[in-house]
Amino acid sequence: MEIGGTGTLLLAVCVTALIFFMTWINSNKRKNMPPGPTPLPFIGNILQVNSKELPQSLLKLAKVYGDVFTVQLGTRTIVILRGYDTVKEALVDNSDIFSDRGGIPAVQMLFKNYGIIFSNGERWKALRRFTLATLRNFGMGKRSIEERIQEESQYLMEEFREKKGSPCDPTYPLSLAVSNMICSIVFGERFDYEDETFLHLLESMKEIFKLVNSAGIQLLNSFPSFFSHLPGPHQKIFQKMSKIQAFVLEKVKEHQKTLDKDCPRDYIDCFLIKMEEEKNNPNTEFHFQNLFVSVMNLFFAGTETTSNTLKRSLTILSKYQDVLVKAQKEVDRVIGQNRCPSMEDRSKMPYMDAVIHEIQRISDIVPLGLPHATAQTTVFRGYTIPKGTTIFPLLTSVLKDPKYFPNPHTFDPGHFLDEKGSFRKQDAAMPFSMGKRICLGEGLARMEIFLFLSSILQHFNLKCDEDPSNIYINSMPNTNQAVPYTYKIRFMPR
């Protein structure tokens, strides 16, 4: 017993010494870095944050440690930026330093740092430059894409009209309409709303979006070498992704067989032509892997966030009928009933413009923002941040910054109107982020939201059988603010 007791005591002393040693190493590593909660060895601050409510957990820590602070999530050291002034100072005023893309282990396992969104250096510059030019050539920001959206809106209106005022979940019609726009640019085709393959594809995409924001994936990101080998719900993301990868691969192969170099039909054709032009360049970024992942990037980015915004728009307007009626009066006055809404109308519709901006602000679609990283060791607000440190610009703290929005958690289109009722721009309204890494599909998304929503209000009154006080416009709990409540809405023809 005495020997056993001595052994136990010795083990306890060794473990305690190891913990103190690891804590000392961590504190030295973080010397002069922004403050933050003391991390435990191996697990960091994982016990001090809720992996199902990570944005809110970080906001609570910001109240203690300030607008710039450090957290250790498992093996990852992350600097958090809170508030518009802080995020702008980093992403805009110091854009050369803070514009690298930070790594997300789950995404790196899926895409291996290829493609547009999660690449860095010359790869990112070359692919972003090419993609922006190609999207412009195929009409992003031009009248041709506006006409495509107007045409798609007619299919969407017919879909809602067929419901004959009965309650329906608008999730899939909205997703189909929005996805068809990016599909027309990337794949050169639109899909019928009854297409089973397309419906299954969108179902997989929505499931991936939920999984990305789940506690399991947050743990995978914090402990990638450990959780990547464990069974569990987080493994579903790889299964779901394989279905979308198979679809994209099939479309690329179809394009390879039917490619006409003198008449490119879409983004894939343009990329294949660029690949052929640079086939003798050993350092080219125009190869199959970058094509494949770039198409996946555009397909995801061009579907889920915009359709999610439109879905939340219908929920919000169903709850706030006074806002709906006022917006409809403006639609009737400027557009009427005899033609499709156009982008020229927006400048004459300040209230509608304010409503849309406030919907995007309160909806807070990407609360954490995508991760950035420091391109070099830098001193920011008196703190030393080493090269390669992951940076999260907490977008929810920007969109709901009380310095710029007096009632940040209240839906109020007045946030974007002056005393004369004219539209008032707010710099802190940045749902697409800011700086060099601003969403490259911002122009397309803004156009879709305005034209689709204006068409809906032109043709339908929105009713929900729920009492307005029971309609929640915030996200469902334990979803990292990513999944909205779903309500069945009646589209009542006007």
CATH number at residue 201: 1.10.630.10
Note the pLDDT tens digit of each residue in 68-96: 999 999 989 999 999 999 999 999 999 99
Q: By percentage, how much of the chain surpasses pLDDT 70?
A: 93
Q: Which two tokens stand for residue 55?
A: 């944005």
Q: Is residue 17 in some structural domain? A: no
Is 69 contained in some domain? yes
Give the bridge partners for 373, in sequence order. 100, 390
pLDDT score of 30: 67
Residue 98 one-letter amino acid: F
Angle at 224 between CA 220 and CA 228, to 5 degrees: 75
pLDDT at 207: 86
CB 485 within 8 A of CB 476: yes
Q: How confident is the model at residue 22 (pLDDT cuts 50, 70, 90)?
A: very low
Q: Is residue 10 situated within a structural domain?
A: no
- Token output for 7: 């052994």
pLDDT value at residue 68:
98
* The pLDDT of residue 379 is above 90: yes
Angle among Cα 453, 457, 461 to the nearest 5 degrees reads: 135
14 belongs to a structural domain: no
CB 438 within 8 A of CB 393: no
Chain position carrying tokens 């390669």: 388
Has residue 26 been placed in a domain?
A: no
- 66: Cα within 13 Å, side-chain hemisphere: 12
d(CA 311, CA 459): 17
Computed over its alpha carbons, how large is the radius of gyration of the chain? 24
| Domain span including residue 284 | 32-493
309 within domain boundaries: yes
CA–CA distance from 80 to each of 35, 56, 456 (Å)?
Answer: 10, 12, 39
Query: Which residues are CB-neighbours of 32 under 8 A, at least 6 positions away?
Result: 383, 384
Distance of alpha carbon 473 from alpha carbon 314, whole angstroms: 10
The structure tokens 């906001």 sit at 59
Q: How far apart are CA 293 and CA 111, in angstroms?
A: 7
> DSSP 3-state helix, strand, coil percentages of the chain (rounded to 5)?
55, 10, 35
Among residues 489, 103, 195, the alpha carbon closest in space to that of 315 is found at 489
Per residue in 209-223, pLDDT (tens digit) is 888 888 888 888 888
Note the pLDDT of residue 24. 47
* Residue 102 belongs to some domain of the structure: yes
Maximum distance among all Cα pairs of the chain, rounded to whole angstroms = 94
**pLDDT (tens digit per residue) in 311-367:** 999 999 999 999 999 999 999 999 999 999 999 999 999 999 999 999 999 999 999
* pLDDT value of residue 325: 97
Domain count along the chain: 1
On whether the CB atoms of residues 203 and 239 are closer than 8 A, the answer is no
Domain assignment present for residue 452? The answer is: yes
